[in-house]
Chains A and B, each alone.
Chain A
Amino acid sequence: MTMQPKLKSRVRCTDREIGEVTKVVVDPLSHEISHIVVSMNGSGERQVAMGHVQAVTDSLVELRAPSSDILALPPFKRDDYVTTHEVEIAHLEEKVHVTPGEVLVPFPELEKSVKRRTFFMNFTHAIGFLIGLPIAFPILRYLMKPMYQPFDNGWLKIGNVGKIKQDDIGVQFKYKKKVKEAYMPESEIEKNVWILKATPAVLEKVYQGKDMEFRDAAGKTVWTNKKDMPYVAFSGKCPHLGCGYKWRQHKVLGQVFLCPCHLSIYDAAGKVLDGPAPRPLDALPIKVSAGGDVEIIDMEFKAGTKSQIRII
């Protein structure tokens, strides 16, 4: 790499010395020095293209032109330029070394005797770590407080089967559930389940000849749906991604459960007929009194999984 002209270097033409470098001009795109500005020993300044430069040494710039040629150049126009302090050109200082020499400040006396800088650096990190570590776990536990809750296995009265007029037809039962969250006053949220009075053929599809057992968190059975009990309750939550589905007339498939979110379709027994759902509708624990009052355990299962994973 050729040397870059330095500020205050003397400038010599083929015949004689004409002055010194007062400024350098840098190309903002290539970051190369394009011109030097030469003070003409009192007769103004000239802007000299780097093409004129023959050689650069530590304190001397040699031009390949005679001094008369350089003097004949138009005077340098300062207003055509801005300093690099006034403009943002990235990485300029890495490419251009025009300072007349190193700029030095004295190294403080106290710093000279410090030997183990690395040790002190590591020590600083270690203390920072000792501050951070004890609060990381409390923060995590603090934020995790409400994440895992025990299941509620209480029975909820949700209505009377008297409103079901036909077999194998999904009928929505809306109910209110009391919830108590953290510091909040107890409130009621609206939920719904779909209940149908199933014919033996549909019951067979739901239960596949076996009673259905429901368990608590510890795995203990809390209720068993008998396989020949004609009323079936499906959780109102679509097992695909948790939306609410409807009982709808479908052009081809007839009357079905259809979820408007991602268009999962289930038959009256909850089996997937079409769409992206990974498993059938979730049957819930149900009991119906002699008078027709329906009670369920309000369970919820994780959506999107092939197997049922209870979350409430």
Chain B
Amino acid sequence: MEHSSIPSTQPTAIEKVIAFIDERVGLKQMQAKMLNEPVPGGSRWAYVFGSVLLFIFIMQALTGILLMFYYVPTADHAYASTQYIIHDVDYGWFLLSYHFWGSTAMVVCVFAHMSQVFLWGAYKSPREMIWLVGLALFGIVMGFGFTGYLLPWDQRAYWATTVGVEIMDKTPLLGDFMARFLKGGPTPGQMTLSRFFVIHVMILPAALMGLAGLHLFLFRAAGPAGPFRGTPEEIKAKTDYFFPRQIWKDIVGMAVVFASICALAFWEPVVLLEEATPDPGDYHPEPEWYFLFLFQLLRLKIFAGEFGQFLGAIALPGAFMALLAALPFIDRDPERNIFKRPVALIGWIVVMVTILLFTVSAIINREFLD
């Protein structure tokens, strides 16, 4: 009778299973470690981009896998199989368009994420390695974009690849080898499609998963940087855990991105151009919008000729990336407040305005061509 006075509820079957696993792998401690990470200065909307990028990637992987159920990566079937996905497979148009707009969302969020880290001064010591791995991830995202749009094998695909690989060809010493290696021959064809396909669906996803894991590991090892303003007492007073407030903001961010991608997929579904062929017909080749500024840059007279082209297509972007990589080692001032870092603030504005101006002028140029 003593026992019945204690409200001893028997564990349910699910609780037993969870207890069984927990006993063996330390599930609850793992969950606690994942969720109970102090966010110095408290959760913020500005911190959502990392989680949102992870979400976008998972959705790209999911939609990408689904597309492969029908897509055939051969020069004589790629175009037809993509058209089949768009026109005949139930919701094929939606999944393909989601994948397409998802890549755009990825690039937008990468820009936002990098800008946030840059403006917050979060790349500084001891977070240099997170920044470096982040730059590699940025390269992988660009690689995804570049290899992805060859796959439908339409005119846009063909010409963007032709020009893109010709640009790579301008790399000193290794350029010719790299370009031929990527094309699998002297000009784009079946071998190019096969190679881009393998890179897009195997090599880049594996690289991204590994590096994103490393990125997170390094982030956890260093801890979040927190806000750049406030005394330690103020920051401590506002500190909360990753769960629930930051996760709540993250999931809202994901929902907004998901809804936006769905809306774009719905209102601007992917439409293929003519099938790829070395005769462009009336098509005016143009890369995806996030490469437009580079494309417009190469129209400039100062980047004319063989050397100018090397300067504009290889040296300038290469130097910019090298500068970004060297940034945490050059900028050793522990000051993180962006309003006390005039060079960094002006630099960021200049880069953003330049990209915007070149992109807009590329769009204006379109009208003169038609």
Contacts and interface: CB of A to CB of B under 8 A. Distances in A.
Given A87-B33, A90-B221, A90-B222, 10 more contacts: A90-B223, A147-B185, A243-B163, A244-B280, A261-B285, A262-B299, A263-B299, A276-B305, A277-B304, A304-B170
Given A146-B185, A147-B181, A184 B33 contact: no
A210 B137 CA distance: 54
A262 B295 contact: yes
Contacts of A144: 181
Contacts of A29: 40, 232, 235-236, 239
A236 B279 contact: yes
Interface string A223-242: 00000000000001100111
Interface string B329-370: 000000000000000000000000000000000000100010
Contacts, number: 154
Interface residues of B, number: 60
27 contacts: A27-B236, A28-B239, A85-B32, A87-B32, A87-B36, A88-B38, A90-B220, A147-B183, A149-B185, A184-B74, A185-B76, A189-B278, A190-B279, A191-B279, A236-B279, A241-B163, A243-B159, A243-B285, A260-B369, A261-B286, A261-B295, A275-B301, A276-B305, A276-B308, A302-B176, A304-B309, A311-B186
Contacts of A192: 279
Interface string B178-192: 001101111101110
Given A146-B185, A276-B300, A243 B29 contact: no
Nearest to B223: A90
Contacts of B220: 88, 90
B285 A260 contact: yes
A27 B285 CA distance: 59
Interface in B186-239: 186-187, 189-191, 220-223, 232, 235-236, 239
Q: Is the interface of A mostly helix, strand, loop or mixed?
A: loop
Interface of A: 27-30, 82, 85-91, 143-144, 146-149, 174, 179, 181-182, 184-185, 187, 189-192, 236-237, 240-244, 260-263, 275-278, 300, 302-306, 311-312
B163 A187 contact: no
Contact of B166 (A87, A88, A149, A304): A304
B324 interface: no
Most chain A CB within a 10 A radius of its CB, from B74, B286, B303, B369: B369
